[in-house]
């Protein structure tokens, strides 16, 4: 039963305040997990806390020592975390010639360095305590195929896909599974500016054989599956949820 899929598990979802992160957190809660979320915005953290009945946390993914302190505080509050979803991220959609070095650094910090720091900080504690755990990284189809105006974003997501493989390889003997999902364009706040451009949205839609954009709940379903024991033989895999976009 879906409501029993993650019963008794405790999950951390970064960027759980809206869009895809909220849908993922909702899905995990519906599957029986206790959900903890993060947001950089105080008002959003309050909403997360009300929604899931657990404390919500601020998290600066750019600060090595700050991430370690965050994990200590999280585990002091939650006592244990079994599941991690690295969802928080940013996109700065510009032609490559318009990207600045600061743009590049901001995207890579949020989309690749941050997940690396957080996942390894938790994994050290899981391994020390012999805890079996599961991680899902939210990558993108832009990390698999080239998409215009996604030089920094796509490259960061390609890095996240490869990081998923390396961590899965290193930690499989420790009972830690690491997978990723690579969504197509999903209707969220993050994609609103892109999909509001009629000609560009029509062009993107023409590349999706199924003929529509994704919905947040469809990504949440896949994340819940990969975190569950139903996927206990799957690690190091990136599941494209793209309506066929990356077939070509």
Q: How far is 36 from 210, CA to CA, in rounded Å?
A: 34
Compute CA 34 distance to the chain's CA centroid, rounded to the nearest angstrom. Answer: 17
Using one digit for the tens of pLDDT, what is the confidence trace for 97-137?
999 999 999 999 999 999 999 999 999 999 999 999 999 99
The reported pTM is 0.97
Q: Rounded to 10 degrees, what is the CA torsion of 224, 228, 230, 233?
A: 110
Q: Is residue 112 part of a domain?
A: yes
Q: What is the pLDDT of residue 62?
A: 84
Using one digit for the tens of pLDDT, what is the confidence trace for 14-27?
999 989 999 999 99
Residue 194's CATH number: 3.40.50.720
**pLDDT category of residue 1 using cuts at 50, 70 and 90:** low
Q: Is residue 100 part of a domain?
A: yes
Q: Is residue 245 part of a domain?
A: no
Q: Is the pLDDT of residue 156 over 60?
A: yes
Q: Is residue 79 part of a domain?
A: yes
Q: Is residue 247 part of a domain?
A: no
Region 159-176 average pLDDT: 98
Report which of 236, 195, 243 is spatially closest to residue 218, judged by C-alpha positions.
Answer: 243
Q: What is the mean pLDDT of the chain?
A: 96
Q: What is the pLDDT of residue 63?
A: 84
Q: Is 48 exposed, middle or buried (0-12, 13-18, 19+ CB in 10 A)?
A: buried
Q: Is residue 35 part of a domain?
A: yes
Q: Is the pLDDT of residue 194 over 90?
A: no
Q: Is residue 246 part of a domain?
A: no
Count how many domains the chain has.
1
Q: How far is 206 from 100, CA to CA, in rounded Å?
A: 30
Instruction: Count CB atoms within 10 A of the CB of residue 96.
Output: 10
Q: Is residue 248 part of a domain?
A: no
Q: What domain range is 20 assigned to?
A: 2-240
Q: Is the pLDDT of residue 46 over 80?
A: yes
Q: What is the pLDDT of residue 190?
A: 75
Q: For the chain, what percent of residues have pLDDT higher than 90?
A: 91
Q: How far is 231 from 234, CA to CA, in rounded Å?
A: 5
Please confirm, yes or no, whether 36 is among the known catalytic residues: no
């Amino acid at each position: 039963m879906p409501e029993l899929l993650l019963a008794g598990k405790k999950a951390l979802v970064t960027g759980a305040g809206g869009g895809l992160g909220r849908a993922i957190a909702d899905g995990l809660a519906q599957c029986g997990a206790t959900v903890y979320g993060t947001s950089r915005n105080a008002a959003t953290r309050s909403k997360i806390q009300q929604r899931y009945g657990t404390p919500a946390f601020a998290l600066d993914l750019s600060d090595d020592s700050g991430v370690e302190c965050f994990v200590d505080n999280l585990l002091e509050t939650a006592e244990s975390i079994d599941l991690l979803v690295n969802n928080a991220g940013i996109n700065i959609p510009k032609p490559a010639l318009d990207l600045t070095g600061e743009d590049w650094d901001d995207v890579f910090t949020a989309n690749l360095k941050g997940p690396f720091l957080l996942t390894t900080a938790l994994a050290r504690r899981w391994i020390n305590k012999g805890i079996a755990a599961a991680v899902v990284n939210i990558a993108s189809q832009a990390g698999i195929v080239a998409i215009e105006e996604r030089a920094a974003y796509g490259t960061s997501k390609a890095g996240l896909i490869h990081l998923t493989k390396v961590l899965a390889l290193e930690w499989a003997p420790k009972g830690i599974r690491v997978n990723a999902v690579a969504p197509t364009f999903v209707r969220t706040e993050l994609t609103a500016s892109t999909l509001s451009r009629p000609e560009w949205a029509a062009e993107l839609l023409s590349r999706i054989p199924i003929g529509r954009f994704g919905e947040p709940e469809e990504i949440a379903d896949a994340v819940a599956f990969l975190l569950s024991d139903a996927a206990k033989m799957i690690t190091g895999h990136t599941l494209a949820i793209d309506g066929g976009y990356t077939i070509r």
